[in-house]
Amino acid sequence: MKRQSISSRINIVLVLISVSVLIFSLTVIVLVNQIKNATKEVTTHDMPAALNTLAMLEELGDMNSNLLEYVLGEPEEKQEYFGNYDEFNRFKELIPTEIAQYNDIKRVTRIVNAHKEQAQSRVFAVYSPYSEALAAEQIQHLITNVGEPLERLLDELKEEEIADVGSVKDLNDVINDDLPGVRFYLELTDEAGDMLSDLDRFVMGNLDARGSFFANALQFASFLEQLKPLELKPQEIIRINEIERLFNELKSGGEKVFVSYSTQTKKNAMQAIDDLEHQSFTEAEKLLDALSSEARENVNRSMVGLGNVANHLVIVLVSATVLIVTLTFAMTIYTRKMVFIPLKTITKSIDKLRVGERDFELEVADRNDELSDVLVSLQQLKLELCELDDLRERKERMQKDLMKERDTATTALSQLKNTQEKLVSNEKMASLGNLVAGVAHEVNTPLGVSVTVSTTIAENMKGFLEQVKSGALKRSSLDNFEVKTQEALTILDRSLEQASHLIHNFKQVAVDQTSSKRRSFNLAETVDEITSTLHHQITRTNINFVTEGDNDIVMDSYPGPLGQVITNLFNNAMLHAFDGREEGEINIRFSLVGDKVRFLFSDNGLGIAESNLNQIFDPFYTTKLGEGGSGLGLNIVHNIVSHVLGGSINVESHVGTTFEMMIPIVAPSSKEASNV
């Protein structure tokens, strides 16, 4: 039997719709052509004139700003000026020559060209910011390397003369030598300061500063000549010669500045800019503003005409839309008759699958079209549902394994808590109590995630089985269940692995601290294991705990006592250093120094009073008696470092507190951990 394709029937209807669309498209093309003709005048004349005259006006304003900024000390503005001038001409070239106002454009161009020539000859050729910057740099050099040393030397000699006035008993010597010397040094200091001030005023544009500089230099030389006869000692003569040398260097340097730079050029350039602004710039600005306004009015008139044509286009489009909607509605009715009604037959077969029936044959309708392909797909779905039954059994077994792992982890946590209760019996084992508390805190997080994930898997499995039993399972639901289950198992595996890693670290630290046995260990790894048991104490604080050190240091020593040292120092910092403070930082740094490890434990807390530094290692000494301090923590630290580890410990307290320990890489063989 010849195949009756549903798509062929629908294509016939679509062809009818396409013909209708084509007719209305031709109508739209005609209207668009009218719009195109109407917009040609706007796009080729009015709009370019409006936009480019505005751009020319903006570039003209930028050129004027470039001149001002150039004279204010920005040499790169010269290049910007000519760049804006080129942009101005580029925008002028974009204006159509057919517009009625093109003669005004030419007039503006002549004005701007004259503006450029005047700027070149009266501003750029006259004034250079580089010269002013060089003069300022030379003056700063004189002030720093000559003026300031000269003033310091004069101040020193003045102070010495003043001291001599009080130490000499001969009144004539005071009157004829010391007092005149003080006066001359004061005068010289004043004249040197005036000369430096004159240099500053000169570079700021003060024309009188040059004459004042040389007048002050003359006064300086006069006072210096009067001072020389009073300073006859060899040391005094050396200093007077140094003063004279610095003075001559200051004077000659000032002369070079006056020769290399003239402040009048800047004033001339500013006057030229003012003239250009009131003449060329103002006239050109008025012309461009008028041209821009007229061009915008032309654009507005043209746009009104375009709006009328657009209204006609809207009417055509609305009519086309109504016709297309009508044809679409007809096609929908036809599709319902040819497609949706036959689909009811397929629905009956799907209902059987929903109620869980698997052993049946699908009824294939007596049609040779696409719907028969759907029945084949349903047959494949039935096979996949059978596979889902097998998957359900595997998921149930997996759920049991997850619950077993959760029970194991919970048992391990319970055992750790029991260990904590046994270890708090005396001060020596207090650090191990903190260790177990850290275990409980750190391990609870991944275990809580594991419990949550296992519960989620159980709920997802329950919903999945309900869909399977009701027959409502879809391929998308199966895929979604598989993806979510895989994600949950990944999270569960990662959480259990994290809990296992934490328990391993805590177990190693606990074994070390309880056994106090000697062994070889990597210092960085051991420190990381120890500090991981302490992080829970700062979880809800703003205190940072940072460790830094060489990863390759291997020690033959006692990791358990070393861990107790770190724990006691950490607890001491938390109890004393950050009392009443909400944030801070604790740092552990270690490095290899010869055959020893330099170990620094520091905080930026309150610090230790200097009067208490000599007593902090004494047993039972504490400033927190009755508030959580036993007075044994630092005493135990001192004993472990000195007797067990064979090292030394010192403490400094300036900004915060730093404990410095020098510990041998190989512990002395005569020391035993039992001495702690």
3-state secondary structure of 445: helix
Q: Does domain 130-264 have CATH number 1.10.1790?
A: no
Reference 158, options 208, 117, 192, 108; nearest CA is 192
Quickly state the pLDDT bin for 649 (edges 50, 70, 90).
Answer: very high
- Residue-wise pLDDT for 47-83, tens only, equals 777 787 778 878 877 887 887 787 776 878 878 888 8
Three-class secondary structure of residue 573 per DSSP: helix
Q: What gap in Å lies between CA 498 and CA 504, rounded to an integer?
A: 10
Whether the per-residue pLDDT at 672 is higher than 50: the answer is: no
CA distances from 425 to 182, 428, 530 (A): 80, 9, 21
The closest of 153, 177, 156 to 167, measured between CA atoms, is 177
Reduced to 3 states (helix: H, G, I; strand: E, B; else coil), residue 670 is coil
Q: Are 428 and 636 a contacting pair, CB within 8 Å? A: yes
> What tokens appear for 673 in the block?
């951990």
Quick one: tokens of 512?
A: 């070390």
Is the pTM value of this prediction over 0.85? no
- 22 or 665: whose pLDDT is higher? 665
- CATH code: domain 32-127+268-313 is 1.20.1440
Quote the CA–CA distance of 341 and 196 in Å, as a whole number: 104
Q: Please give the mean pLDDT across all residues of the chain.
A: 76
| Torsion over CA: 482, 487, 488, 492 (sign) | positive
Task: Give the whole-angstrom CA distance, residue 361 versus residue 378.
Answer: 10
Q: Which of 178, 68, 86, 83 is nearest to 123 (CA)?
A: 68
Q: What is the pLDDT of residue 39?
A: 72
Q: Exposed (0-12), middle (13-18) or buried (19+): which is 625, by Cβ within 10 Å?
A: exposed
Query: Would the pLDDT of 33 be above 90?
Result: no
Query: DSSP H helical segments within 228-281, as ranges?
Result: 234-260, 264-276
Does residue 667 have a pLDDT over 80? yes
What is the average pLDDT across 486-490? 77
Locate all alpha helices (DSSP H) within 592-663, ordered by sequence: 633-639
Residues 244 and 224 sit within 8 Å (Cβ to Cβ): yes
The pLDDT score that the predictor gives to residue 602 is 94
Class of domain 523-675: alpha beta
Is the model's pLDDT at 432 over the cut of 80? no
pLDDT at 370 (0 to 100): 66
Please, where are the H alpha helices in 516-624?
Answer: 523-532, 559-572
Taking alpha carbons only, the member of 62, 107, 109, 68 closest to residue 83 is 62
CA atoms 469, 470, 471, 472: torsion sign: negative
Question: SS in 3 state form for 381-426?
Answer: HHHHHHHHHHHHHHHHHHHHHHHHHHHHHHHHHHHHHHHHHHHCCC
CB 553 within 8 A of CB 524: yes
Confidence class of residue 673 from pLDDT cuts 50, 70 and 90?
Answer: very low
What number of CA atoms fall less than 13 Å from residue 672's CA on the CB side?
2
Residue 174 DSSP code: I
| pLDDT, tens digit, 9 for 90 and up, residues 87-117 | 888 887 888 877 777 887 888 888 888 888 8
pLDDT (average), residues 528-546: 83
pLDDT band at 595 (very low <50, low <70, confident <90, very high): very high
Residue 342 pLDDT level (bands cut at 50, 70, 90) = low
What are the sequence ranges of the domains in the chain?
32-127+268-313, 130-264, 373-502, 523-675
Closest CA to 578 of 551, 541, 526, 549: 541
Binned at pLDDT 50, 70 and 90, residue 665 comes out as: very high
CA pair distance 264, 205, nearest whole angstrom: 8
- Residues 181-231 pLDDT 10s: 788 888 888 888 888 888 878 777 677 888 888 898 899 888 888 888 887
- Report the greatest alpha carbon distance in the chain: 145
